[in-house]
Amino acid sequence: MYVEKSTNITYKSDADYIDSGSVGKINDAYKTLFQQQIWSLRSFPEGQRNCYNFNLTANRKYLIRGTFIYGNYDGLNRLPSFELHIGPNNWTSVSTLGVTNGSVHEMIHVLTQNQLQVCLVKTGETTPFISSLELRPLNSDTYATQSGSLIAVGRVYFSPTPSFLRYDEDIHDRIWVPFLDKRNSVLSTDVLVDTSNLYNVPQSLAKTAAVPANDSQPLTIAWSLDEITAQSYIYMHFAEIQNLEANETREFNITYNGGKSWFSYFRPPKFSITTVYNPTAVSSPDGKFNFTFAMTSNSTLPPLINALEIYKVLDLPHLETNQDEVVAMMNIKTTYELSKRFIWRGDPCAPQLYRWEGLNCSYPDSEPPRIISLNLTGRNLIGTITSDISKLTQMTVLDLSNNDLQGEIPLFFADMKFLKLINLSGNPNLNGSALQQKMIDNKSVILILDESHNPTPKSKSKKVLVIAIAASVAGVFALLVILAIIFFVTRRKQKTAEVPGPSLVTSGTVNSETRSSNPSIIKKERKFTYSEVLKMTNNFGRVLGKGGFGTVYHGNLDDTQVAVKMLSHSSAQGYKEFKAEVELLLRVHHRHLVGLVGYCDDGDKLALIYEYMANGDLRENMLGKRGGNVLSWETRMQIAVEAAQGLEYLHNGCRPPMVHRDVKTTNILLNERSQAKLADFGLSRSFPIDGESHVMTVVAGTPGYLDPEYYRTNWLSEKSDVYSFGVVLLEIVTNQPVIDKTREKPHITEWVGFQLTNGDIRRIVDPKLMEDYDTNGVWKVVELALACVNPSSNRRPTMPHVVMELSECLAFEIERKQGSQGMFTNTEFSPSFASGFVPKAR
């Protein structure tokens, strides 16, 4: 532990917060460039994910800052790059641009639990490392967001002096970097400014302000974000720091990005800081922000600003494992010294890619993951069975076999209501007689013990099966195989057979499955009654759209807009499709899949309640039916990427994987920010994870989008969705109908091929684009689309490949349209400012 003289900050060793990694020191030649806390670092040559663990306070807000200075600590002169995670979620990518050009990454985060993990994740060949990690509690009433955490992009004040500000001038140790350009000049005062609002900005910051260099011109501040789709929060700090005469007034309007109103008729309070910020996140289609502060007609003085903070929202899609179970697993890890036998680091269940070895977890929709099985067989466990296992209340299978556990088998096993199998064989010093008797009296479970633990005759009760076996691998394996067969046969008997019937065409959708006597949906969460549906739709007062399935109505639920799809009695979409869609959307979640708010299964009244997508579907927008604005090529590419990501998630992120079966432009919906989401999962079907890559099923889909190979053979695979998405891409490029019998080639795939015989891409591109696109980029998209619609499914690309290709096309288009950049962008660490965010003038 030591106190840094330049800041009066106390630093301590990280040894109490992490159990992996190696300590190193930067090259001596670079030490004079940095504060002392940068001289040492911790690197992680072993393991893919290594995590710091902190016991903090749930629901508290923290400023978290990681600093990374390579300093050639390993003598390899090999600049590392890796990922930084907050809990189970990706925070940011870390890269170092030079031996002494490191980086600082900072976020504001609200803890959902009393534990916090900050993890370094290896993503390539280089070794992750960290120089310092700082955590500070903040006032919970500051930096409020509607969702997610905040990543710091920039924090500037306006001063001609080059010194940055941090602790102890800023009690929260926010790093403030001075900035001034030629368009602005600086006001300053020696008068004390009241900075006691919630944000507590430094006094020296409050005593200076930027004003336009030319009083007759507005004050302008501009910046750009590397991530153009990012949602942002901006905090502006103002104080009047001049003694105004009776006839002087300072009043101004704040607008951004072409005149959008931010704040009107604003007058900074005299010698007192006030903070202005946006209560909801804002974004810019190109990632650029340009703020203008203009005098009103009442004003005699130009506008001013004292300081500015910019953050972007970090979405946290992965929920942390149930807190009690995290604590239990940490205690189990410590009790049995499992860090020597397992690489157990970070969150036990999330994300699934880094789930702890020996665990299986369930992932209920919108709820924390839960541990459902624990396998510690043959891990040299000694001592008694810890009571922390009882805190894994959702566990169904526990395997502690082939260890050296001793003592009485705990009675709490009989109270774990979901526990179905306990394997304690190979622990000759365990005594289980008391547990056996209690389990006979209370529940059915399979308990596997050594032969020496044979049950008494009374234990032959039908309520419990106690199996005495020798502790041989073959015996245990045979038992598990028998159980698996019984489970499989039982499940098969529960399913009703689907018998293929004649194809039926209704309202543009091919569907040969009809309503059966399937039971009502098992899950009860998010279920609404028909009377509640009537209330939320105001008695079906506003129609959003109609289709073969029925009518979609606008609704309001707890001040949130929703879309309510009522299933018509004459709909081709039957109860089976309704049930399939509900059960799919209750268990999957992705930012590019339309979210299910709830459902109604009330007698013959069936309804699906979705999040409201304010901008309608892609087809409407392509045709100009949503306000008449032409979708630019960049916007079309953005929509294509997002829809592809949603489809890729269904194919690879779901367990079991899903085939959508009805991908089309009318099933790609846009929200108020024109973010694309895939919708309508009534025809979705799962396909096997192992072995077979396709499944036999009756044909369903929409004419024109339907995979001809699937239509011909009834063999469904994820490549059927790839075909449909290829048709969507051709629509995006051409803005032509999929089937037009007046064309020489009615189907869009044939028409595009025919038109391209002379090699002129302009013959097929939507003329509304007015040739505002790069020809090479369009060619790449068309070639990708034609590969997707290849008649042979084996020759079509996978959706991960499609996402990658489209992302490149989007990046290329953004680069083409990139103009002059703003005041500053995401920043890199600079030795001249020992630590901080350094805005770059552009």
Show which residues are catalytic. 662
User: What distance lies between CA 784 and its chain's CA centroid?
Assistant: 27
CA-to-CA dists, residue 305 to 113, 166, 178, 309, 482, angstroms = 38, 19, 13, 12, 74
512 touches 716 (CB < 8 A): no
What lies within 8 Å, CB to CB, of 809 at 6+ separation is 637, 777, 780, 781
Cα-trace Rg, the chain? 31
- End-to-end C-alpha distance for the chain, whole angstroms: 41
What lies within 8 Å, CB to CB, of 202 at 6+ separation is 165, 169, 170, 176, 195
Strand partners, 155: 309
Q: How far apart are CA 533 and CA 563, in angstroms?
A: 11
Q: How far apart are CA 447 and CA 465, in angstroms?
A: 7
What lies within 8 Å, CB to CB, of 160 at 6+ separation is 178, 180, 186
793 touches 193 (CB < 8 A): no
Question: Scanning the structure block, which residue is given the tokens 């009066």?
Answer: 8
Residue 257 burial class via C-beta count within 10 angstroms: exposed 0-12, middle 13-18, buried 19 and up: middle
466 touches 457 (CB < 8 A): no
Specify the DSSP element, H or E, that contains 816: helix 799-817
- Cα angle for residues 703, 707, 712 (degrees, 5° grid): 95
CA-to-CA dists, residue 675 to 285, 428, 496, 581, 646, angstroms = 11, 61, 39, 22, 11
DSSP code, position 455: P
495 is in an annotated binding site: no
Task: Name residue 500's amino acid.
Answer: P
3-state SS string for 101-123: CCEEEEEEEECCCCEEEEEEECC
The annotation places the binding site at 565
Give the residue ranges of the annotated binding site for ATP.
565
